[in-house]
Structure 1
Amino acid sequence: MRRWKEPLTPLRHRQFRYQYAGFSISVTGNMLSLVALTVGLLEVTGSGAAAGVALGASTIPLVGFLLIGGVWADRLPRQLIMAAMDLVRGLVQFGLGAMVLTGQVNLPLLIVLQVLFGTAQAFHLPAASGLTAFTVPKEELRRANALMSVTRSLSGIAGPVVAGGLAATVGAGWALLLDGVTFLVSGLLAARIKAPAARRRAGGDLLRELADGFRLVTRTPWIWTSVTGFMCTQVAIAVFMIVGPVLALRAEGGALGWALVIAALGVGDVLGDLVLLLGYRPRHPLLVARLAELLLVPALVLVAVGAPAAVQVVMIAVAGAGMTAADSLWITTMQQHVPEDSLSKVSSYDWLSSQALRPVGYALGAAVAATGAVTAALLMMAALVALPRLLSLTFPSVRRLRALEPALAN
């Protein structure tokens, strides 16, 4: 019986319980709003243009302010930054919900609200990534990160379903208001967390701290090779999401086959989290992470060459498990090995690598789909995923970096 309780051991710590509860509530609400915002704006305006403007208006400040958000998260109490940004995000969702419910979508106001949301995200994400190192002991970070990751994966499955149900019954506006409530609750829980204050550097200013963070990232091979790999993967996944359906519609499975592929990706995410949550503890976490990330390469190749649908589904699930497990291992490694007063700055580069090039990937995918060279494009994306991982593995610091906990497996 005790073995089944081990995955929940991080919840023994009160500060992490506050963090985990707030995270679970807000991430579920976020998954609601992903569907509710687009559906609500489409219902009111009759066009997808408003949704496109809204998503773009939030993405630009998110990318623009992430590095600054990382600096401030290392200066101020991270939990208070999270609470303040949750308040901003909650108020934004209330405003969006009100517009959708009244049927009065004011485009300039919509853009302002989404800019505020994206800016709040830019400050919240680095703070949240750096907080876990202070709410659980270092030897429990792996399980804590896996627990939050599996919650995110499950929310990604359940949230859109709930949002669709709300939109079809009471209306998408109410789903947005519910998301606003989740942010307020999350903020209240974050404010209850007691974590050590950030260490202040004498004479430090914003530009100097930005430069310090950049030097730390670029002079540490296991960090910069990881970040580079994440950027390449984001481009590859974005292209895959655009050209994948094109290939699927040419095959026998058609739209159903593509739906199964996407579902398999979600199932793989959960499986990858469970592997770490249930006790897998690699001695060399980044070595395992790089090898797990390479599982995406054969998955992309199989989709590109039109392998049988069942084979594609299985391999996509395996690739999803590898990417998700690798992500948890990477986050834990950062929290264990990056100095505490630089943790959020490094995390901001991590988040930037996951956000900045995604629009480029979507644009590239759209261009490829227009030309019809989708098979060649996916094969090139497979190479784009593989090359930075193979480069990363040439560095001893990547292969030999050890986890700061007893290890049972290699």
Structure 2
Amino acid sequence: MPNPQQRPRQRPPGQQHPLRDRAFRFLFVGRALSLLGDAVIPTALGLAVIAATGSTGALALVLGCAMVPKLLLLPLGGVVGDRFDARAVALATDLVRCATQLFVGLQLLSGSPSLWGIALASALGGAAAAFAMPTVSPLITGTVAPAGLLRANALLGVVSSAVRLGGPLLAGVLVLTVGPGWAFVLDGVSFAVSAALLAAIRVRRVPVPRRSLRADLKEGWVEVRSRDWYWTSLIAHAAWNGAAAVLMTLGPAIAVTGPGGERTWVAFLQVGAVGLLAGSLLAGRARPKRPVLVANLGLATYALPLLLLAVPAPAPLTIAAYGVAQAGLGFLSPVWNTAVQSAVPEHALARVTSYDWLLSLSAMPLGYVLGPLAASAWGPGVPLVAAALLVGAACAGTAAVPGVRRFTAAPDGRADRRTDRRTGERAGAEEAAPAH
């Protein structure tokens, strides 16, 4: 018979599920709504611009207006995210993006949208994203105990994967029933709700001394350069993004000319989204001893669908390979974010994250441009094989880097600080730094 005075065993505070914490729960809900709103935009934007202008060049202009300011301002966004309150920065950018999406939505609902108005709103939204993206990691570390970082990142990864799976379907329903304008209104409302939730929470932060912009940028770059496991992995991740851009530009043409036609490409993308979700779910349960090494080797599987498309192999085999490759991406995102958040000093986390995004996103336009150029000169097989060799060698090649092999994780997924070795420094040097 149980003792009525015996209290049930409770987990230590750091072991509690992240969603039990009000601050992270509000952050999680806000991120989920924003991701869902954003998931419907690519489909709605493409259909809306083409319907309004009949020009693919106009769509390229709008997409370029969003991408260019994002790339140019990302380093500055990292400095702002570290120097000021990440919550306040994220809240302000949510409000800006709410306004831009509502503006585009109202333009489309008016029946006479202005291309230049949409392009300007896209540029403002891209600029806001450059300041918002580096704040995600500081927001997570500021609301979650260190022991819960992997679980928190995995939860966000699952939501991101799920909305990628259901976002295009929701976009199609909105476009076909009420029109694309309402998709942008929905996205704007999601940013407004996210801002309201951020306003209701408190986020821990590490004060950063005021210095020049150049000194802040330099310090962030030093944090990147001094970790061989980090900068070599960034090269591999950039290669992955460049290869993905090649696949996304050449894959549809190869798929639609095959036996299954457009249905093959739709199945390709849907299986990839399922794989992405499966990888995110696995990341929340698996505890690899060498997380960076395992995650990078998982990314190397992206070479498989590239090679199979180049052959071309039977569609079911290529589709299955893409699902496996996307599972590797889904597994990497939470594991990588946890490794970075637990190894990089909190006072430099936004700047380090901004360099991560900058390098990764910069590789994608190269893939978009070089893939079709090479295909027009030598056929699609050549750029696909070249991309496969590049991504396979870059991702698997990180196994030769001592820091990648030495980087180990505790049972809760956090980095073992003793293995976060800097070039020319002892393993424990980072703990002795005054910034900590």
Distance 1:372 1:257 in 2: 24
Distance 1:406 1:200 in 2: 28
Structure 1: 5+ residue runs without aligned partners? 1-6
- Assess if the C-alpha contact under 8 Å between 1:139 and 1:405 holds in 2: no
Query: Which of 115, 126, 145 pairs up with 2:123?
Result: 115
Specify the structure having the higher radius of gyration (Cα).
Answer: 2
Change (3 A) 1:175 1:258: closer
Query: Which of 148, 154, 158 pairs up with 1:150?
Result: 158
Query: Which of 355, 378, 382 pairs up with 2:388?
Result: 382
1:181 and 2:189 are equivalent in the alignment: yes
Query: Which of 360, 375, 379 pairs up with 2:366?
Result: 360
Distance 1:161 1:252 in 2: 24
Distance 1:162 1:168 in 2: 10
Q: Once the two structures are superposed, what CA deviation does each residue of 1:296-317 show, in whole Å capped at 9, x if it has no partner?
A: 1223222222222222122111
Q: Once the two structures are superposed, what CA deviation does each residue of 1:82-122 show, in whole Å capped at 9, x if it has no partner?
A: 11000000000111111111123233333321111011000
1:39 and 2:47 are equivalent in the alignment: yes
- Assess if the C-alpha contact under 8 Å between 1:282 and 1:288 holds in 2: yes
RMSD (Å) for aligned C-alpha atoms: 2.0
Query: Which of 209, 220, 224 pairs up with 1:213?
Result: 220
- Assess if the C-alpha contact under 8 Å between 1:273 and 1:321 holds in 2: yes
Q: How do 1:11-30 residues align onto structure 2 when only pairs under 5 Å count?
A: 11-30=19-38
Change (3 A) 1:8 1:58: farther
Change (3 A) 1:255 1:174: closer
Distance 1:38 1:255 in 2: 17
Change (3 A) 1:252 1:273: same
How far did residue 52 of structure 1 move? 2.1
Q: Once the two structures are superposed, what CA deviation does each residue of 1:276-324 show, in whole Å capped at 9, x if it has no partner?
A: 22x2111111111122111112232222222222221221111110122
Query: Which of 342, 349, 366 pairs up with 1:343?
Result: 349
Distance 1:86 1:116 in 2: 12
Query: Which of 123, 127, 136 pairs up with 2:135?
Result: 127
- Assess if the C-alpha contact under 8 Å between 1:138 and 1:404 holds in 2: no
SS in 1 for 2:55: coil
How far did residue 8 of structure 1 move? 9.5
Query: Which of 372, 390, 397 pairs up with 1:391?
Result: 397
Distance 1:175 1:107 in 2: 17
Distance 1:45 1:390 in 2: 44
Q: How do 1:303-314 residues align onto structure 2 when only pairs under 5 Å count?
A: 303-314=309-320
Change (3 A) 1:35 1:259: closer
Opposite residue 36 of structure 2, the aligned amino acid is T
1:4 matched residue in structure 2: none
How far did residue 205 of structure 1 move? 1.4
Distance 1:237 1:195 in 2: 35
Q: How do 1:287-326 residues align onto structure 2 when only pairs under 5 Å count?
A: 287-326=293-332
Identity of aligned residues (%): 36
1:227 matched residue in structure 2: 234
SS in 2 for 1:135: coil
TM-score scaled by length of structure 1: 0.93
- Assess if the C-alpha contact under 8 Å between 1:336 and 1:404 holds in 2: no
How far did residue 406 of structure 1 move? 4.3
2:428 matched residue in structure 1: none
TM-score scaled by length of structure 2: 0.88
How far did residue 26 of structure 1 move? 0.6
How far did residue 372 of structure 1 move? 4.8
Change (3 A) 1:169 1:258: closer
Q: Which runs of 4+ in 1 moved over 6 A?
A: none
1:266 matched residue in structure 2: 273
Q: Once the two structures are superposed, what CA deviation does each residue of 1:166-222 show, in whole Å capped at 9, x if it has no partner?
A: 111211112211111111001111122211233222x51111110111122122111
SS in 2 for 1:281: coil
Opposite residue 253 of structure 2, the aligned amino acid is V
Opposite residue 237 of structure 1, the aligned amino acid is A
- Assess if the C-alpha contact under 8 Å between 1:90 and 1:181 holds in 2: yes
**Larger proportion of helix:** 1
1:3 matched residue in structure 2: none
SS in 1 for 2:408: coil
1:138 matched residue in structure 2: 146
Change (3 A) 1:263 1:405: same
How far did residue 63 of structure 1 move? 0.4
Tell me whether 369-378 or 224-233 shows the greater mean CA deviation.
Answer: 369-378
How far did residue 368 of structure 1 move? 2.7
